[in-house]
Every structure is written in C-alpha cells, then in structure tokens.
Structure 1
Amino acid sequence: MNQLELLRKFTTIVADTSDIDSICKYKPEDATTNPSLILKAVNLNTNQKFLNQAVKYAKKKGGSKKEQLVNASDKILVDLGVEILKYIPGYISSEVDARLSFNQEKCILKAKKIIKMYEEQGISRKKVLIKLAATWECIKAAEELKKDNIFCNLTLLFSFAQARACAESNVFLISPFVGRIYDWYIAQNSTLNFSYNEDPGVQSVCKIYNFYKKHNYKTIIMGASFRNIQQILLLSGCDRLTISPDLLKELELNNTVFNRKLNPPTTFSKPPAPLIESEFRWEHNQDEMAVQKLSEGIRNFGKDQFLLEKIISKLI
C-alpha cells in the first residue's frame, strides 16, 4: 500500500487542480479551484472551448463590456466546475471574485448567481462549494448563504481568529493554508530550520483541529497549500486535505508506512462565547503573518482575475 492509499483511510482526499487528466488519474473525492488555477487552465490549448463558450454566452447576455467580462468570467468558472464534476463524486469548490472580499452583500449576490448558473446546467447546489476569502464580511456572507442551502469553503485562512469565527458562524468548510504560513516564517529568517513537528503551518492546523473537535464544531477542516508530503502526513486524520497533483504523485510513489496523527477526542467541552466583529478584527490583527498573507492572497487572486478578464477582453 502506498502513502496515498494509506492516507485515504484517515482523510478525504481533494485535488487542488483544474486539470482533468490529474483528477482522472488520482480519483479524489472533491476538487478545488481558484482564480490562479482557472487562469492556468484557460491558457491550455485543450481548454480553448471554455473561453469560446464564455465569450458566446457573454455576448448573448449583452450589456456593457464590463458586464460581459464579468459574465464570461463566471461562465468559465462554472463550465470548468461542471466538467470537473463529471469525474468526481463529491464537491467542486468555485471561488468568488476576490475583489469582492470586503463586501458581504456583493459576495452573497455573486454566490447566488454562480449557484443559479450551475443549476441551469443541471448541477445541484449540494455539489458546489462557494469559495470565499476568510474576511469577516465573507464569513458573515457564508453564514447567510447557508440559510439558502448554499454551502461555502472559506479560504485564505491563516489566523486562529479566522478559524474560530468560521466555526462560530457554522461555516460548512474552511481551508487553512499550511504552506503559505511556512513560507512567511522562512521569509522572515532564511536561517530557520524547522523540524517537521515544529512547522508553523502544521501547528496552525493542529490547533484548529483540536479546538474544533474539543468543542464539537461541525465545520469541516480541509488543510491546503502544501510544500512537501511531510506536512501532509503530519495532518493525516484531518477531515480533508486538498493536495496538488505533484504531491499526490509523490505520495503514490512512496510506500513508507506512517501512523494517523490527528484523532478526535472522546469527550467534548462547552464552546466559548462567539467573537463579535471588533474582537475578531483585533485578534486577527495581532497575527502579523495572517494579516500579511490574507491581504497578499486577496491581491494575488484579484490580479489573476484581472489577467483572465484581459484574455477574455481580446475576444469580446
């Protein structure tokens, strides 16, 4: 049994890619996408049909060029999701434009639009997770969307305050970013040499896991953004792990046996009183790494969304 097969016994495997060939090869339960992965996918010659379909759709919908760019971008997002769902049994995570991350109402409207577009193609909302950055506004948007049976994946999660607020808002799933946390600490001091057990990204997810399970929160924890398979194996037992094709391949080629690392408790404790907005903002602000990585992630996803629109703009 290789490590990927063994990991499946403890954890639900999710593919962090929009590449259909990789999804077919590794047979994950779910798949996740983001603006960077969407941009990469549409630049492949094999995916030109998605661009053409999107432009045709946008022109038919009409409106200003800006409206057509938005509609075409949403169409690509949904069409890629529909295609991926042909090859997985579980959820596809589709990300809302990161530039809306500080506007609760616009995130809600965009999420409802995306779900409607999926449903127009015969895809149940029960198969789609709307990805939102884990800002206070998006966490509250996810809380509202759940009332309409629209479930969300809160991404770009770096601080314990973000994780706690998500659980207290009964968000469906969170994606804490292991590798980007690790990157930040290495960038601060290139001479640091963490042992695997001291990896700050791994420690962050372990803290969230223990807190969630201790208080019996139902929010699913999906570790994300890995730099090596050791980070993945140290989080074996986490509810879900979303893994890139390169690391899935490395796990598949490795037969070294490992033991499950994360295990839920047998007894539970009463949770603390929920954070209010000012408390959340203060606690998150106290984590310099989280503040920098969240804003950086939103900016970079926004840039990739802009680049996607630039490609579409030439075709409209």
Structure 2
Amino acid sequence: MSGSPVKRQRMESALDQLKQFTTVVADTGDFNGCFVASLWSCCEHCHCDPLGIAAGHCFPSLVTAASGHSDKHLREKAIDEYKPQDATTNPSLILAAAQMPAYQELVEEAIAYGKKLGGPQEEQIKNAIDKLFVLFGAEILKKIPGRVSTEVDARLSFDKDAMVARARRLIELYKEAGVGKDRILIKLSSTWEGIQAGKELEEQHGIHCNMTLLFSFAQAVACAEAGVTLISPFVGRILDWHVANTDKKSYEPQEDPGVKSVTKIYNYYKKFGYKTIVMGASFRNTGEIKALAGCDFLTISPKLLGELLKDNSKLAPALSVKAAQTSDSEKIHLDEKAFRWLHNEDQMAVEKLSDGIRKFAADAIKLERMLTERMFSAENGK
C-alpha cells in the first residue's frame, strides 16, 4: 500500500492554494517554505503583547490552542518558528504593553527622553509618547524583515497639518534610532483630513502611509486618488455592523457585506490602474477569505490560518485584474464636498469610523495619564 498513488500524492491545503494568487504578508517561514502569519489584523483587534505579536502574531494564543500551554518557552518557540514579514502597533497595544514588566525599560527610556526635552508637562508627555511608540516599533523591526506601522494619535484625525507634523516627527525619531523611513508605514485614520495628510506625506516627504479605519467606498476612492501606499478595509467589522443592525444574521461568503465591499474596491482599483495596495483585514471565517482569494494582500488570524491549513477543498481566485476590467465600475472623482456626502450616505461606515477613532483616542488618553503619573507624581507630592 505504501506505493499507492493516493499515499504519494500530497493534498494542497486551501492556504497553499491561496498563496498562489494572494500575498499573505509572505516570508520564508515554516508553512512549507513561503508563508508566515500576517500581524495586521490581530494587532488591530486585540491587546496582546506587541513584541510577542511582532515576533509571532499572537502566538501565545496559537500555542495555547495547539497544546494547552502558553508558557514563555512555548511562546518563544512559536516566535522562532513563525517569522512574520510586517507588523503594526496602535495606541491600545502600546497602552497594554507599557503596563507589562517586560517593557519597563522602554517606558523609562521614553520618560527620560520626554523630561530631557523639557517644556510644559503636556509637551513632555507628548514627546515621551512619540518616543515610546518608536521604541516599540524599533524593537519589533529587530525581529522582522519588513515594515512596521506606527499610528498617529487618533485625536488628530480631523487636523491634516497636525497629522503631517506628527508623522514627520515619528519618522525623525525613527531616523535617530537608526531606522529608515522605507521600513515604516504611518497609520492614519481614513477621514478626509487623514487622507489628505497621507497624500502630502507620500508626495512631498516620501513617507508611506497605511490608511486604517476604512469602511466606505468613498474612503477607498479618496485614498486611491491620494496615492497612498496601502489601505486596510475591515471585512469583519462591516459584517458585524450588518448583523447587529439588520434582520439578516447570516450570509453566504459571496453575499457577505464586508466581502462585497472589498470586492468593489479591488475591482475599482484594478480597472482604473491605481497602485494603492488593497489589504483585506478583520476576517470572521474562512469563507470570507476564500471569497477574496486574489486580493492583493489578505491578513489572517492564527485560528483561521489553522483552518485553512486543514482544508483541502479546491480554491480558485475570486478576484483578478482581468475580471476587474469587465466590472461595471465607473470612475468617479471626489472633492471634499462629494467625499463627505458619499461617505455620509453610508450609515455603517460613519458609525464604524467614528467608533474606531473614539476607541483609539480613549486609549491614547489612558496612556497619557499613565505616563503623567509616572513622570510627575513625585514632584506633585503624591
């Protein structure tokens, strides 16, 4: 029986097939030579250890699921085995990590930096936070070959000039740390002001941008016209809103509102020759992933990666540049007034964008309070 053709033939997993037409933030990793987990989606949605994420994409949880253990040895083993290409941070992750004993040296270094520059307390705190973001990013970059995304304060989401200034400041801090801007993506909220900030950063300063909190077609069109490097439309969050706010509670993958949104964006970009990368994110099930096979980038959580590895069903590309040429997309141009109107017509997008900004802003405030207490409590007599 050992010579049976069935025995000799290796069944290709859905993941193997997916890699043939979609970049899953790839590198030479452990999954048969050319795959590692993306960091993007998990970092957007959970509060795991950022440096653990940087080195292993929530592999503490992956190890737990696989073996029932999550101790340091197994975590480090997972980190060694699965070397991701890119990573991202956000205020929520930095807040969580800054409270962990393992990263107190970074926190102390950031505090010392803020105090060294001096000025009013508010200015010292801002400088310390910027330094902390860069310190975490620089540490992550020691573990990965690709780029790290560092987010501009969400409270600046409606101030273009402030976002540009903050982004340039972050890039300067990275430069001081020996990290070139080619290894950094600046994350900006996809407000009109954020998109215009991205345009200025790309065109005038050569700073690459990752536009986040993107939920509407209007946002995607404006990002394409701005020429930003990458957009991250959230498939799962769009689905979540529809499940919570409509009578329909389940969808076939092709009818999933998040899948339809990314498909529309992809077809539009490819039909009209835009270079901005479409990176589908925030998946709730493998059906959504399969329905977007062929998209530029897809970001997949460890749980869903495991399911795809075990899935031997046939997978064909659902999206392609060729098919996009025959789509019914019509090119549009959006000035500020047209953008605001079209985006405002999408209730889901309006609610999810504002909710995302509020949540990141709230965590930024918590981080400020934590650093304020650490930096000034002694001199305030506490």
TM-score by length of 2: 0.77
Deviation readout 1:261-281 (Å, 9 max, x if unpaired): 221127859973521110010
Q: CA deviation at 1:247?
A: 3.7
Pick 1 or 2: higher relative contact order, CA cutoff 8 A, min separation 6.
1
Q: Which has the larger radius of gyration?
A: 2
Aligned counterpart, 2:353: 294
Separation in 2, partners of 1:2, 1:41: 35
* Shift in alpha-carbon separation, 1:267–1:135, aligned structure 2, 3 A: closer
Separation in 2, partners of 1:133, 1:311: 24
SS of the equivalent of 1:294 reads helix
Letter in 2 for 1:300: K
* Shift in alpha-carbon separation, 1:64–1:190, aligned structure 2, 3 A: farther
Counterpart among 12, 22, 27 of residue 11 in structure 1: 22
Deviation readout 1:242-271 (Å, 9 max, x if unpaired): 334444454455555533322112785997
Separation in 1, partners of 2:324, 2:212: 29
Aligned counterpart, 1:76: 132
Deviation readout 1:66-94 (Å, 9 max, x if unpaired): 11221121112111111111222222111
Matches for 1:1-316 after TM superposition, within 5 Å:
2-12=13-23, 13=25, 14-16=38-40, 17=43, 18=50, 19-23=53-57, 24=79, 25-146=81-202, 147-189=204-246, 192-252=249-309, 254=311, 256-265=313-322, 272-316=331-375
* Shift in alpha-carbon separation, 1:76–1:282, aligned structure 2, 3 A: same
TM-score by length of 1: 0.92
Preserved contact between residue 216 and residue 268 of structure 1 (Cα < 8 Å): no
Q: How many residues align?
A: 316
Q: CA deviation at 1:9?
A: 3.3
Deviation readout 1:26-61 (Å, 9 max, x if unpaired): 323221222222223333332222212211211112
Q: CA deviation at 1:181?
A: 0.6
More strand by share: 1
Separation in 2, partners of 1:33, 1:97: 12
Separation in 1, partners of 2:121, 2:312: 53
Preserved contact between residue 215 and residue 271 of structure 1 (Cα < 8 Å): no
* Shift in alpha-carbon separation, 1:122–1:253, aligned structure 2, 3 A: farther
Preserved contact between residue 22 and residue 245 of structure 1 (Cα < 8 Å): no
Preserved contact between residue 134 and residue 170 of structure 2 (Cα < 8 Å): yes
Segments of structure 1 that go 5 or more residues without pairing to the other structure are none
Letter in 1 for 2:84: P
Segments of structure 2 that go 5 or more residues without pairing to the other structure are 1-11, 26-37, 44-49, 58-78, 376-382
Preserved contact between residue 270 and residue 324 of structure 2 (Cα < 8 Å): no
